[in-house]
A and B are shown apart, each in its own frame.
Chain A
Amino acid sequence: MEADHAVVQRILSGEKDAYEVIVKKYQARAYRAALGWVGNTQDALDLSQDAFIKAYRALRRFDTGRSFFAWFYVILRNTCFNFLRKRKRELTISLDFAPAESVATEDEARRAEVKRQVWRAIASLPDDAREVMVLKYFEEMSYKEIAEAVGCPIGTVMSRLYYGRKKLRKALEGFYA
């Protein structure tokens, strides 16, 4: 697969269509990260699209020595922050954030309930802890990637994860012996 910085060079030299390569590569990650911030599918799709458009317009400022997603993530995060500030609301969890799941069996019903509880617990965290939890759980990013995206030391990532997981553990107490 073509490296991000090579694709960016092509875009900057006038091949607008090449941006599709970048968008397709990161759209799902962008969506999941936005979902972690705003909590519902439609807003997450809209905001991640807005962030891609902003990133496109700022592409000349992208340092090709850095990871594209880490750079893009800052734009995405600011877009989500502004959205939440404008709406003057906190994360809202809509039940349509995931495709409808069959809960025919007891195990599936339990899994759906765990998922709801995980969301509730994450939603109740302060922004900084919620952010690292989202990047760890939804993006499965390494500590180094999270630290770069969030702009803090790895030790801070671990501390915030500890705090977040403590809350999660409390919320899910009933789900394991």
Chain B
Amino acid sequence: MPEQGQSGHDRYKALLMGFIDGELAPGERGEFEQHLAGCRECSAELEEFRKLKEVTDMVRFGEPEDKVWEVYWRGIYNRVERGIGWILASVGAILLLAFGAFKLIEGLLVDPAVSVMLKIGVSALLLGVVFLLVSLVRERIFGLKHDRYSREVKR
């Protein structure tokens, strides 16, 4: 049913849509038909919308060819399946690179002569670089995969 607060005539304009599409409840349909009998504006609009419907009913939008649908599901399945693989590979790469970075600066971290601030700063910097590197590599690989898939669909 039309929104509460709609003014009387606006409500009938909305009901007009339901009337054309056969979506009105019997009570609403009766009410609208009663209104229609006495409202020239709505009768004229109804006629216009019916003509419009005749025109738009001729139009059917094309769908992709069957071969596109064949690769469609495979694309989804592969990405679903590989999702957990990507997470594990990323976590592994981050841990290994972080460990490597730690080994690189181990001497600096255990040296009591170096200030704590410097140690934290260098550690954060290296860890940040590791995250960025892994993220960048993932993005590049994903980009390549994505392009390949697009070509496959367009075939």
Q: Which residues of A contact B (CB under 8 A)?
A: 16-17, 19-20, 23-24, 27-28, 31-32, 35, 41-42, 45-46, 49, 52-53, 56-57, 97-99, 101, 111, 114-115, 118, 136-138, 142-143, 153-156, 158-159, 161-162, 165, 168-169, 172, 175-177
**Chain B positions 1-30 with a Cβ under 8 Å from a chain A Cβ:** 1-4, 6, 10-11, 13-18, 21, 23
Partner of A45, one of B52, B59, B68: B68
Majority secondary structure, B binding face: helix
- Cβ-closest chain A residue relative to B63: A28
Contacts of A41 in B (CB 8 A): 64
Partner of A42, one of B2, B48, B80, B154: B154
Partner of B62, one of A98, A118, A143: A98
Give bound CA distance, A97 to B49, whole Å: 26
Contacts of A27 in B (CB 8 A): 69, 72-73
- Assess whether B61 is in contact with A115, with CB atoms less than 8 Å apart: yes
Assess whether B56 is interfacial by the CB under 8 Å rule: yes
Majority secondary structure, A binding face: helix
Contacts of A56 in B (CB 8 A): 76, 80
Assess whether B75 is interfacial by the CB under 8 Å rule: yes
Contacts of A23 in B (CB 8 A): 72-73, 76
- Assess whether B62 is in contact with A176, with CB atoms less than 8 Å apart: no
Contacts of B81 in A (CB 8 A): 16
Give bound CA distance, A122 to B79, whole Å: 33
- On whether A98 and B61 interact (CB within 8 A), knowing A156-B3, A158-B2, the answer reads yes
Q: Which residues of B contact A (CB under 8 A)?
A: 1-4, 6, 10-11, 13-18, 21, 23, 48-49, 51-52, 54-56, 58-59, 61-65, 68-69, 72-73, 75-77, 79-81, 83, 150, 153-154
Pairs of residues from A and B, 9 with the lowest C-beta to C-beta distance, nearest first: A98-B62, A155-B2, A158-B14, A155-B3, A99-B62, A158-B17, A161-B17, A143-B23, A159-B14
Give bound CA distance, A97 to B68, whole Å: 13
A-B contact pairs, 15 of them (CB 8 A): A16-B81, A19-B76, A23-B72, A28-B63, A31-B63, A31-B64, A45-B68, A56-B76, A114-B59, A115-B59, A154-B1, A155-B6, A161-B21, A162-B14, A162-B17
Contacts of B11 in A (CB 8 A): 155
